[in-house]
Amino acid sequence: MTDSIDLNCDLGEGFGRYTMGDDAAMLEIVTSVNVACGFHAGDPDIMAERAAQTLEKGIVLGAHPSFDDLRGFGRRRIRGIPASELRNLIIYQVGALQGLARSVGQKVSHVRAHGALGNMTDEDREMADMLAGAVADLGSDVALMTMAGCAADRAAEALGLKVARQAFADRAYTDDGTLVPRTESGAVLDDAEAAVERVIRLADEGVIESVNGKHLRLDARIVCVHGDTPAAVKMAEHIRTALENRGIAVKPYTQHEGWN
Amino acid sequence: MTDSIDLNCDLGEGFGRYTMGDDAAMLEIVTSVNVACGFHAGDPDIMAERAAQTLEKGIVLGAHPSFDDLRGFGRRRIRGIPASELRNLIIYQVGALQGLARSVGQKVSHVRAHGALGNMTDEDREMADMLAGAVADLGSDVALMTMAGCAADRAAEALGLKVARQAFADRAYTDDGTLVPRTESGAVLDDAEAAVERVIRLADEGVIESVNGKHLRLDARIVCVHGDTPAAVKMAEHIRTALENRGIAVKPYTQHEGWN
Amino acid sequence: MTDSIDLNCDLGEGFGRYTMGDDAAMLEIVTSVNVACGFHAGDPDIMAERAAQTLEKGIVLGAHPSFDDLRGFGRRRIRGIPASELRNLIIYQVGALQGLARSVGQKVSHVRAHGALGNMTDEDREMADMLAGAVADLGSDVALMTMAGCAADRAAEALGLKVARQAFADRAYTDDGTLVPRTESGAVLDDAEAAVERVIRLADEGVIESVNGKHLRLDARIVCVHGDTPAAVKMAEHIRTALENRGIAVKPYTQHEGWN
Amino acid sequence: MTDSIDLNCDLGEGFGRYTMGDDAAMLEIVTSVNVACGFHAGDPDIMAERAAQTLEKGIVLGAHPSFDDLRGFGRRRIRGIPASELRNLIIYQVGALQGLARSVGQKVSHVRAHGALGNMTDEDREMADMLAGAVADLGSDVALMTMAGCAADRAAEALGLKVARQAFADRAYTDDGTLVPRTESGAVLDDAEAAVERVIRLADEGVIESVNGKHLRLDARIVCVHGDTPAAVKMAEHIRTALENRGIAVKPYTQHEGWN
């Protein structure tokens, strides 16, 4: 089905003296990244460094904005924020990363909402419209990265945005194409071989299987991997190697055929 | 000496439900503003709104970055932050405002460091070089706003930056051209008439008198006024009226003759 | 029905250089207060000062903990925090105020949850049990202040806590005894006379009327008033005067007959 | 000179999903700890858990307050905060830990200032008097833990506080008994054997050698060790074993002869 896959991961999720995951290892594996913008993780120094590193390595840089929730790592659903304020929250964070990226000659190519903000904009059309509107206001050179087939995908299409569609290598899917919540057992796949198989099948057939065995047809050539544990890094390496062995090019989505 | 003066003030220094000063009144008086970027004050909503308002009123928008010190309103000197980290701190904040400004069709024309960061970069050449370097990295369309004659002024000149030089209508000067610290009595002028006289003299002769009566020659056509109290707003109005009555145009520094 | 009423209000909701409401005026009117603990508002200096002022004036001091949400003034419902973590969040804040209170010879007599945390613990029994458990863990000398008849009231009773039951002078009630949400029109009573009448009737008959005219029977001798606007302060004064004119003593709930 | 040593370390310096050091390992080695209180590190959950763990293991619990500086891990010197505000900042943090400790049946036995606040109160008598005053206001059951011989030690004595005097196993000393700053090379001893020797000598002779070979006479039976790296944990284990092999009891300072 496709001859090229983008391996994507969240990056820059340390804070001050705190580290999270193995960014150095992931920068050798992935072809696009979503960098935390200081609200759930990340800080100006990490952001500036990741911008410079991605430029040097030819990795596509994206922003990973979230609720203002350092304590909860952006995984808490915060209710009652008007859409106009969420828009400003997102643009603030993306703008901060754009500033640091420009200052080292790099640019921000996409926005991927993090954690609870990501889940809510994936699931709920009103939230999705808010997110798509924010990205639209950032200008035509910024794409919206979403889960393939989710509400944000549709909202982005409705506004004529560039959409970078993502599937998850190591997260279980429900029958309607959303992720099984982290609070449920089996939400995260630990088996590297199973994850590799899933990615190969996605590349070959455009299909991911849900927890109930349903075939989900996904238009996704971006595969999200994780790097927060040594096992996760290993899994990402396996996936990259398996794809290359099969003759599938691992390269940034911006270089995929048909990306505009 | 000059036929045009820019009236400038800090703006957008509320936070969440908290307000600070009378922004609405000041937007009717001044011709350029420095908007807080969320670290000592300000938040994404206030920033977005001020960006839209300044665009509508033809007011020049600047960023007002500071130390990360909401509790201390950015007035505490924080030691031990490497220059590279201060640079990133500044670009993060300016980038955030740039993002919000662009999203409403406005742009950020200058950077004015706030509070303790402003004082330290005004006084100390190493800090000044850091600030000027950060502004240089923001690109050639962003000017550095500084106190005329201070270390940051010299640092900006050394890097070939556009420099927007400012004098204070209501702050006392020492003999060497720095501000009398707020902790000392007489640091802030309460007398509106004295402030008006000072501004007129600056416009006519390019001179401000220090606390000891020394004539400080200042190349400043931007006059900083305040709006945090009703008396401060009144003083700003007086100054504007007095300038106009004397035939001195009150307009943004970007429209002054010789500004490039 | 009762010959004594406690007038209670939230206090100390400024932050750093920001002010909120007229604390000085309210300290002349009320007999018990709920002081913000730094998470939605308040800071160590304000807390220490309010502790000292309440001691001096014979006002009963309570803690007003909330979600960690300075930006949203604690009015945003934050989901996904485990009960054990909410308990710790509450005890942290109450402990901080207890420390400052003890340091000036004052003590914390009750806990009243703020904003969204207050609403959620008023409405939801699981949240209410969490709150009551936290207060129980603070020791037997700390009461739980709640809306009379709400889930937190029942949870506190179930644990054998001292319960300080509150009614609102200026907020509309639904038929089932909860507050009409602030987002709905008519949620806040602006008419001082109506508020006075309501309080008098509550004192005389133990009844408050809902928005639909239903008679809600409330066991509440604590009346919550507000001080965030000049009109609110005026209303509080009116209520105090009206109660005293009617021979109803306005004094701390800890001095009411039957309080143990 | 002494037959008992307290091994002390900083603990609970994670935050949210972030971890710092190996707390579980250190809880098997040390006899007293200083737990972060949420301002430079730590959060209510970590604080509550450490309070319960220390109670279970018979470890003495202390509070480790700092400047409000999560981003800089409390290592930045923040100037311009009045002494009265620093006092409130400290009592707020200690109070929060006291609340959580009491809620699990544990108590806070001492206060040890962290990072820049620790350095400034160790060095500067005015700052030391502020700290000692804050601890005095916490009540007579709370000791002040300080570097032996520093300004805070003298300030605590002047106020008649209980003083828990500490020496550092792995930090180099200047000739006047202060620590060599972390920014200088050689500030931290990496050699476990050298650290062990230093501690043995301190126990035997009451002497630590400065970087220039000067014999510093220190009245310290509390030895501070670190657990932020695997090597540091190993060093702490070595020190404990070496002391026990020499017949020196490793036990909380509160059980040392002469402690009152």
Q: What is the pLDDT of residue C187?
A: 92
Cβ–Cβ of D97/C97 closer than 8 Å? no
The predicted-structure confidence for C82-108, as pLDDT tens digits, reads as follows 999 999 999 999 999 999 999 999 999
Q: What is the pLDDT of residue B182?
A: 84
**Option in C71, C76, C81 nearest A79 (CB):** C76
D2: amino acid identity, one letter: T
Q: What is the pLDDT of residue B206?
A: 94
- Inter-CA distances, C218 with B164, C178, C260, Å: 64, 11, 19
Chains that touch C (3 or more CB pairs under 8 A): A, B, D
Q: Looking at residue B180, what DSSP letter applies?
A: P
CB neighbour list of residue D176: distance below 8 Å, 6 or more residues apart = none
Please give the tally of structural domains in chain D.
1
- Give contacts of C15 with chain D, Cβ < 8 Å: none
CB B195, CB B171: distance < 8 Å: no
Supply C21's token pair: 């409401």
Identify the three-state secondary structure at position D145: strand
C42/C78 Cα distance (integer angstroms): 20
Q: What is the pLDDT of residue B170?
A: 92
Query: Quick count: other Cβ atoms within 10 Å of Cβ B175?
Result: 11
% of chain C exceeding 70 in pLDDT? 100
Cβ–Cβ of A68/C71 closer than 8 Å? yes
D-chain residue closest to C139, CA distance: D103
Helix B83-103 vs helix B44-57: angle between axes, to the nearest 10 degrees?
A: 60
Q: Rounded to a whole number, what is the distance in Å from the CA of B64 to chain C's nearest CA?
A: 17
CB B214, CB B175: distance < 8 Å: yes
Q: What is the pLDDT of residue D59?
A: 98
Report yes or no on C191 lying in a domain.
yes
A88/B68 Cα distance (integer angstroms): 20
- Give me the domain span that covers residue D70: 4-255
Please identify which residue in the block is written with the tokens 């290598």. A169
Report yes or no on B87 lying in a domain.
yes
Q: What is the pLDDT of residue D183?
A: 86
Q: What is the pLDDT of residue B178?
A: 87
Report yes or no on B260 lying in a domain.
no
Which residue ranges of chain A lie beneath pLDDT 50?
Answer: none
**Option in D71, D75, D78 nearest B76 (CB):** D78
Query: Quick count: other Cβ atoms within 10 Å of Cβ B211?
Result: 13
Please identify which residue in the block is written with the tokens 């003593």. C249
Rg (CA), chain A: 17
A-chain residue closest to D72, CA distance: A16
Identify the sign of the CA torsion C171, C173, C178, C183. negative
Q: What is the ipTM of this complex?
A: 0.96
Report yes or no on D114 lying in a domain.
yes
Q: What is the pLDDT of residue D260?
A: 72
3-state secondary structure B210-253: CCCCCEEECCCCEEECCCCCHHHHHHHHHHHHHHHHCCCEECCH
Report yes or no on A260 lying in a domain.
no
3-state secondary structure chain A: CCCEEEEEEEECCCECCECCCCHHHHCCCCCEEEEECCCCCCCHHHHHHHHHHHHHHCCEEEEECCCCCCCCCCCCCEECCCHHHHHHHHHHHHHHHHHHHHHCCCCCCEECCCHHHHHHHHHCHHHHHHHHHHHHHCCCCCEEEEECCCHHHHHHHHCCCCEEEEEECCECECCCCCECCCCCCCCECCCHHHHHHHHHHHHHHCEEECCCCCEEECCCCEEECCCCCHHHHHHHHHHHHHHHHCCCEECCHHHCCCCC
The secondary structure element, H or E, covering residue C60 is strand C60-64
Cβ–Cβ of D76/B79 closer than 8 Å? yes
- Give contacts of D84 with chain C, Cβ < 8 Å: 45
Cβ–Cβ of A76/C71 closer than 8 Å? no
In order along its 260 residues, chain D shows pLDDT tens digits of 789 999 999 999 999 999 999 999 999 999 999 999 999 999 999 999 999 999 999 999 999 999 999 999 999 999 999 999 999 999 999 999 999 999 999 999 999 999 999 999 999 999 999 999 999 999 999 999 999 999 999 999 999 999 999 999 999 999 988 889 888 998 999 899 999 999 999 999 999 999 999 999 999 999 999 998 899 999 999 999 999 999 999 999 999 998 97
Q: With a cut of 80, say whether residue C141 has pLDDT above it.
A: yes
**Option in A95, A104, A137 nearest B98 (CB):** A95
Q: Rounded to a whole number, what is the distance in Å from the CA of C150 to chain D's nearest CA?
A: 25
Supply the CATH number for residue D160's domain.
3.20.20.370
Q: What is the pLDDT of residue C2?
A: 85
Which residue ranges of chain B lie beneath pLDDT 70?
Answer: none
D244/C107 Cα distance (integer angstroms): 45
Name which of C76, C86, C88, C92 to mutate to probe chain A: the one with the most chain A Cβ atoms within 10 A of its Cβ: C76
